[in-house]
Amino acid sequence: MLPTKVFLFGIDNAGKTALAKTMKDEATADTGPTLMFDITKMVIKNLEFAIWDAPGQVDFRETWEEGLDKAQVLLFVVDVTDMARFEEAKQELDKILNASETREIPLVICFHKMDLPEAASNYDMAREIFDVSSIPDRKVFSFDTSINQPETVTALKDKLAEIIQEARWSS
C-alpha cells in the first residue's frame, strides 16, 4: 500500500519543517527556509506517511497545487507568535480550503510555537481568526503544538494515525 500523503502547508516561518523533523525524531537545529517540497516518510502506528512539507514563501506558494495532488490529509501550521501575519495565513488557508479538489479532505490546524511567551497573548485571537467550527465540508481538528513540548507532537502524530486509519476503513 502506498504511503498516505499529508500536505503540510502554511506561510513562511510558521515552523512547518521543524515540526515535520520533530515528528520524525530528527534534529531541528537551523532548518532554514524550505525552497521546494521536502518529502519526509515515517511510520506511525504501523501506518506509512509521506509528509509533503511545502515552501511557505510567497514566490513558492503557486507550487502548492503539486503538493495537494492526491493528498489525503491537510496539515496547516500557523505561528501563534506572529499576530501581524494571521490575516495573510488565513487567506492562504482559505485558498486551499476553497479549492474543489480539497473538499472533504480532513484538515488539521496546528497552533504552533506555543512554548514562546508571545503565544499566550496571541492565542485567543488566533483561535478566533482560524475558527475551526466555521470550516465546512470536512473533518477539522486543531492542536496546540511546539517542537519543545514533545507531548504535543506525540498527540499530533497519534491524531494523524487515527485519521488515516479511519479513512482506510471507510474506503
Rounded Cα–Cα distance for residues 19 and 38 (Å): 12
Rounded Cα–Cα distance for residues 143 and 152 (Å): 8
Choose between 143 and 28: higher pLDDT.
143
Which grid cell sits at 109?
A: 490546524
pLDDT value at residue 169: 62
pLDDT value at residue 29: 62
| pLDDT(171) > 60 | no
Q: How confident is the model at residue 3 (pLDDT cuts 50, 70, 90)?
A: confident
3-state secondary structure 55-78: CCCHHHHHHHHHHHCCCCEEEEEE
Task: Tell me what percent of the residues of the chain surpass a pLDDT of 70.
Answer: 94
Q: What is the pTM of this model?
A: 0.95
pLDDT value at residue 28: 66
Q: Coil, strand or helix: which one is 6?
A: strand
Domains and CATH numbers, the chain: 4-164 (3.40.50.300)
In this predicted model, what pLDDT tens digit does every residue of 90-138 receive, in sequence order? 999 999 999 989 999 999 999 999 999 999 999 999 999 999 999 988 9
pLDDT value at residue 33: 80
Q: How confident is the model at residue 35 (pLDDT cuts 50, 70, 90)?
A: confident
In this predicted model, what pLDDT tens digit does every residue of 46-93 receive, in sequence order? 899 999 999 999 999 999 998 899 999 999 999 999 999 999 999 999
Q: Where are the alpha helices (DSSP H) in 116-149?
A: 117-129
